[in-house]
C-alpha cells in the first residue's frame, strides 16, 4: 500500500510502521540556500514538520561551515556539527532562543550521536583517516583512530548500549555498519553489509525493552535526490524493506534513545580483514532505458530472483533462472519510478530505486 502526503513535504510510504515515534533529520531541502533545515519526522506516516534550526554563527563566509553534516539529540538538546572543521552548536529542544556555539572539533565531521550521560560522540575522515571524538563538559577529546579500511558515510548511533557507525567503501560502491570500540577505536570491527545504500543517517528507537534500528539511504538519479527509510534487523544482520521514500536528501538523523550508555564492544577483531573483504555489492546503472544493467560481485548463479515493483507496491516483473543476466530487457515497461529487489540464494537482499 502506498500513502501520499502533500503538505510540508510529499512522501511515499511503501509500508507503514506500526508504532508512532518521531525523530529528527538534517537536510538541505530548500535549494539554492546552502543552510541546513531541521525536520521532525514521523515513523508512522512518513510525514515531517519543519522546526527551528540554529543558524551557523562562526566562519559563516566559509561554505562548509554553513552546512550541518549531522545532528544529535538527547532528552534536552539538539546538537549540530558542520563538515569543514567540525564547528559545534546546541539548542534546547522546543525553543528558538537558546542556540549556543560550543566550540570546534578541529576536524572534518560527518557523524554525530549523543548518549544519556551528556557525552556527544563524533566521527569523520580527513586525509584518508577516520577519527573518533567526544565532547563532554565543554571539553573536546580525540578518542582514537579507526582501522584504515573504514570510512564514515554519515552517522553514529547506539543500539542496546553498543555504538555503531555507517560506513562506505573508498569508491562509494558499497556500504556497511561498523561496531565502534569506544575504549579502543583501532579494534573497531565490521558488523554487516548495507549493499550500496549510502546511509548518511541512522538511529535506534525503543518500545519498552525492544529496540529497533533504522538507516536512511540516499540516492541521486538524474539530479533528483531521494532518501529511503529502511529498518535493519541488528540480530539477524539483515536489511528490511523500504518504509518511506522522501523526495530530498537526508544528511543525518537523531533521536533521544534510552539504551545509549557506552558498553563493551563485541568485536571479533581476528576476523575483521576477512569479514570486510567479503562485502558484496549490487549496483544498477540509473536511470534505465530499455534494459536493466548492473555491476555486482555476486555470481549470477547465486541470484535467486530479481523483482521489479511499481510505486504502489505491485510486482510487475520477476526474473529467475536463465532470465537473469547483466542486461535484462524491460522494453515493455512504461516510463516511471520502480523499486528493484535482488534476492541472493545465500539470503542477501539488495534494493534500489530506478527511474525509467
Does residue 267 share a domain with residue 298?
no
Cα distances (Å, whole numbers) of residue 219 to 67, 84, 354: 19, 23, 10
Residues 188 and 164: their CA atoms lie apart, in Å, by: 9
Q: Name, in order, each residue with C-beta under 8 angstroms of 31's C-beta and a sequence gap of 6 or more.
A: none
Regarding whether 94 and 178 lie in a shared domain, the answer is yes
Say whether pLDDT at 12 is over 60.
Answer: no
Q: Quick one: 176 and 93 in the same domain?
A: yes
Domain at 257, CATH number: 2.115.10
C-beta of residue 256 within 8 angstroms of C-beta of residue 75: yes
CA pair distance 203, 327, nearest whole angstrom: 36
Which residue among 277, 293, 320 closes a domain? 277
Domain residues for 156? 3-277
Residues in the chain: 356
For 163-184, the pLDDT digits (tens) are: 999 998 766 677 899 999 999 9
pLDDT for position 281: 66
**pLDDT score of 347 more than 80:** no
Number of domains within the chain: 2
Domain of residue 293, CATH code = 2.60.40.1270
Question: What is the per-residue pLDDT for 143?
Answer: 97
Question: What share of the chain in percent tops pLDDT 90?
Answer: 42
**Predicted local confidence at residue 271, as pLDDT:** 43
19: pLDDT strictly greater than 70: no
Give yes or no: residues 298 and 232 share one domain. no
pLDDT value for 255: 95
234 and 162 fall within a common domain: yes
Distances (CA, A) of 83 to 16, 25, 213: 33, 16, 25
| Same domain membership, residue 234 and residue 317 | no
Calpha distance 47→44 (Å, rounded): 8
Place of cell 515497461: 333
Both 310 and 328 in one domain: the answer is: yes
Q: Are 231 and 298 members of one domain?
A: no
- The pLDDT, as a whole number, for residue 11 is 38
Q: Model-level pTM? A: 0.73
Residue 351: the pLDDT is 72
Min mean pLDDT across 53-62, 94-103, 189-198, 282-291 is at 282-291
Note the pLDDT tens digit of each residue in 78-95.
Answer: 999 998 899 999 999 988
Judgement on whether residues 20 and 97 belong to the same structural domain of the protein? yes
**Cα(24)–Cα(39) distance, rounded to whole angstroms?**
6
- My answer on whether 111 and 181 are in the same domain is yes
Amino acid at each position: 500500500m502506498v500513502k501520499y502526503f502533500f503538505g510540508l513535504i510529499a512522501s511515499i510510504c511503501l509500508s507503514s510502521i506500526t508504532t508512532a515515534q518521531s525523530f529528527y533529520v538534517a537536510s538541505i531541502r530548500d535549494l539554492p540556500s546552502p543552510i541546513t533545515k531541521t525536520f521532525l519526522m514521523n515513523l508512522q506516516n512518513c510525514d515531517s514538520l519543519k522546526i527551528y534550526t540554529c543558524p551557523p554563527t562562526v566562519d559563516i563566509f566559509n561554505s562548509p561551515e554553513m552546512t550541518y553534516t549531522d545532528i544529535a539529540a538527547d532528552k534536552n538538546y539538539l546538537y549540530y556539527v558542520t563538515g569543514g572543521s567540525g564547528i559545534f552548536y546546541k539548542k534546547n529542544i522546543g525553543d528558538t532562543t537558546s542556540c549556543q556555539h560550543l566550540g570546534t572539533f578541529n576536524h572534518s565531521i560527518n557523524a554525530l550521536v549523543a548518549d544519556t550521560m551528556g557525552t556527544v560522540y563524533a566521527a569523520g575522515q580527513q586525509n584518508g583517516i577516520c577519527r573518533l571524538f567526544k565532547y563532554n563538559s565543554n571539553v573536546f577529546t580525540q578518542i582514537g583512530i579507526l582501522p584504515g579500511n573504514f570510512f564514515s558515510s554519515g552517522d553514529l548511533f547506539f543500539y542496546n548500549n553498543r555504538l555503531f557507525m555507517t560506513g562506505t567503501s573508498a569508491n562509494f560502491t558499497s556500504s556497511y555498519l561498523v561496531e565502534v570500540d569506544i575504549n579502543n577505536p583501532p579494534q573497531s570491527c565490521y558488523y554487516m553489509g548495507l549493499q550500496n545504500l549510502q546511509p548518511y543517517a541512522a538511529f535506534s528507537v525503543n518500545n519498552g525493552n525492544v529496540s529497533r534500528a533504522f538507516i536512511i539511504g540516499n540516492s541521486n538519479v538524474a539530479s533528483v535526490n531521494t532518501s529511503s527509510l529502511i529498518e535493519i534487523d541488528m540480530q539477524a544482520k539483515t536489511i528490511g524493506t523500504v518504509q518511506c521514500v522522501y523526495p530530498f536528501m537526508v544528511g543525518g538523523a537523531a533521536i533521544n534513545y534510552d539504551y545509549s550508555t557506552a558498553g563493551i564492544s563485541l568485536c571479533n577483531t581476528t576476523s575483521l580483514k576477512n569479514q570486510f573483504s567479503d562485502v558484496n555489492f549490487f549496483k544498477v546503472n540509473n536511470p534505465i532505458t530499455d534494459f536493466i544493467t548492473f555491476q555486482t560481485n555476486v555470481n549470477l548463479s547465486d541470484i535467486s530472483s530479481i523483482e521489479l515493483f511499481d510505486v504502489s507496491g505491485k510486482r510487475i516483473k520477476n526474473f529467475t533462472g536463465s532470465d537473469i543476466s547483466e542486461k535484462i530487457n524491460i522494453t515493455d515497461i512504461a516510463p516511471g519510478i520502480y523499486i528493484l529487489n535482488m534476492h541472493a540464494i545465500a539470503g542477501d537482499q539488495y534494493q534500489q530505486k530506478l527511474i525509467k
